[in-house]
Structure 1
Amino acid sequence: MAINRGKFFGLRRTIEYGLDLLSINLLAFSLPVYFHNPILFYPYISVVWILISHRNRFYDVYRHTKVTHILVLLFRQFVFMFLALYAYIGFFKQPNVSRLYLGFFFLLMVVAISALKFSKYLFLSYYRKKSKSDLRNVIVIGKNQKTNQLVEVFNNEKGYGYQFCKQFPASKGEFSLKECLDYVVDHKIDEIYCSIDALEDNHIVQLIDFADKKFKTVKFVPDNKQIFSKKLNFEYYGYVPVLSLKEIPLKIRTNYLLKRAFDIVFSSLVIVLLLSWLAPLIGIVISLESKGPVYFIQHRKGYDFRLFACWKFRSMATNKNQDHEQATKNDMRVTKVGRFIRKTSMDELPQFYNVLIGNMSVVGPRPLLIKHTNDYVDKIQKFMLRHHVKPGITGLAQVKGYRGEIEKDMDMKNRVRLDIFYVENWSLFLDVKIVMQTIINIAKGEEKAY
Structure 2
Amino acid sequence: MEVIKRKDGFGHLIKWIIRLGDLIVINVSLILLAKLLSSDETFTLLINDIRLGEIFLLINLIYFIVVSVVPINLSSNIIFFDKIVHRSLLFISLYFILLTAGMLLLGVGRISYDDWLIFYFGLSICYILWHIIVRIILKLYRSKGYNYKRIVIIGSGDNALNVYNELRSSDYGYKTLGVFDDNPDQHDSPLKYLGTLSQVDKFCIENKVDEIYCTLPNNEESAILRLVNFSEKNMIRFFLIPEFYGYIKRKLVLNSLQSIPLIGIRPEPLQLVYNRILKRTFDIIFSLIILITIYPIVYLIFGIIIKLTSRGPIVFKQRRTGLQGEEFTCYKFRTMYLNDKSDSLTTQHTDPRITPIGAFMRRTSIDELPQFFNALIGNMSVVGPRPHMTKQTVLYNGLIDKFMIRHMVKPGITGWAQISGYRGETKTIEQMKGRFKRDVWYIENWSFILDIKIIVVTTLQLLKGDDTVY
Distance 1:416 1:389 in 2: 13
Q: What's 2:69 paired with? A: 53
Match of 2:263 among 237, 243, 251: 243
Instruction: Kindly indicate whether the alpha-carbon contact (under 8 Å) linking 1:399 and 1:438 is maintained by their aligned counterparts in 2.
Output: yes
Instruction: Kindly indicate whether the alpha-carbon contact (under 8 Å) linking 1:54 and 1:254 is maintained by their aligned counterparts in 2.
Output: no
State the secondary structure of the residue aligned to 2:398: coil
Instruction: Kindly indicate whether the alpha-carbon contact (under 8 Å) linking 2:55 and 2:108 is maintained by their aligned counterparts in 1.
Output: no
Give the root-mean-square deviation of aligned CA atoms: 3.9
Q: What's 1:327 paired with? A: 347
Q: What's 2:425 paired with? A: 405
Match of 1:301 among 321, 330, 346: 321
State the secondary structure of the residue aligned to 1:298: strand
User: What are the equivalent positions in structure 2 for 1:1-20 lying under 5 Å apart?
Assistant: none
TM-aligned CA deviation for residue 406 of structure 1: 2.3
Distance 2:65 2:364 in 1: 44
1:41/1:393 Cα in 2 relative to 1: closer, same or farther (>3 Å)? farther
Q: Give yes or no for the alignment of 1:226 onto 2:243.
A: yes
Q: What's 2:175 paired with? A: none
Aligned length in residues: 264
TM-aligned CA deviation for residue 428 of structure 1: 1.1
Match of 1:374 among 378, 394, 404: 394
State the secondary structure of the residue aligned to 1:378: helix
TM-aligned CA deviation for residue 282 of structure 1: 1.3
Instruction: Kindly indicate whether the alpha-carbon contact (under 8 Å) linking 1:316 and 1:333 is maintained by their aligned counterparts in 2.
Output: yes
Length-normalised TM-score, structure 2: 0.50
Q: What's 1:263 paired with? A: 283
* 1:286 partner amino acid: I
Distance 2:339 2:59 in 1: 55
1:38/1:372 Cα in 2 relative to 1: closer, same or farther (>3 Å)? farther
Report which of the two structures shows the higher radius of gyration computed on alpha carbons.
Answer: 2
Match of 2:380 among 360, 364, 381: 360
TM-aligned CA deviation for residue 362 of structure 1: 0.8
Gaps of 5+ in 1: 1-33, 57-79, 96-195, 198-222
Match of 2:274 among 241, 245, 254: 254
Distance 1:262 1:358 in 2: 12
* 1:447 partner amino acid: D
Distance 1:307 1:44 in 2: 50
1:235/1:285 Cα in 2 relative to 1: closer, same or farther (>3 Å)? closer
Q: What's 1:314 paired with? A: 334
1:339/1:40 Cα in 2 relative to 1: closer, same or farther (>3 Å)? farther
* 1:300 partner amino acid: R
Distance 1:43 1:265 in 2: 29
Length-normalised TM-score, structure 1: 0.52
TM-aligned CA deviation for residue 376 of structure 1: 1.2
Q: What's 1:284 paired with? A: 304
* 1:53 partner amino acid: V
1:236/1:436 Cα in 2 relative to 1: closer, same or farther (>3 Å)? closer
Q: What's 2:22 paired with? A: none
TM-aligned CA deviation for residue 369 of structure 1: 1.7
Q: Give yes or no for the alignment of 1:414 onto 2:434.
A: yes
Q: Which moved more, 1:366-375 or 1:292-301?
A: 366-375
Distance 1:37 1:265 in 2: 37
* 1:354 partner amino acid: N
Q: What's 1:120 paired with? A: none
1:225/1:42 Cα in 2 relative to 1: closer, same or farther (>3 Å)? same
Question: Identity across aligned pairs (percent)?
Answer: 39
Q: What are the Cα deviations for residues 320-365 of structure 1, in whole angstroms up to 9, with x where unaligned?
A: 0011111111111111111111111100000011111111111100
Distance 2:283 2:66 in 1: 20
TM-aligned CA deviation for residue 55 of structure 1: 4.2
Q: Give yes or no for the alignment of 1:387 onto 2:407.
A: yes
State the secondary structure of the residue aligned to 1:324: coil
State the secondary structure of the residue aligned to 1:432: helix
TM-aligned CA deviation for residue 411 of structure 1: 1.4
Distance 2:379 2:364 in 1: 24
Distance 1:267 1:376 in 2: 30
TM-aligned CA deviation for residue 244 of structure 1: 2.6
State the secondary structure of the residue aligned to 1:284: helix
TM-aligned CA deviation for residue 227 of structure 1: 4.6
User: What are the equivalent positions in structure 2 for 1:127-142 lying under 5 Å apart?
Assistant: none
1:304/1:47 Cα in 2 relative to 1: closer, same or farther (>3 Å)? farther
Distance 1:44 1:299 in 2: 53
State the secondary structure of the residue aligned to 1:300: strand
1:52/1:265 Cα in 2 relative to 1: closer, same or farther (>3 Å)? farther
State the secondary structure of the residue aligned to 2:294: helix
TM-aligned CA deviation for residue 46 of structure 1: 9.2
State the secondary structure of the residue aligned to 1:291: coil
Distance 1:282 1:430 in 2: 32
Gaps of 5+ in 2: 1-49, 73-93, 110-216, 219-239
* 1:340 partner amino acid: F
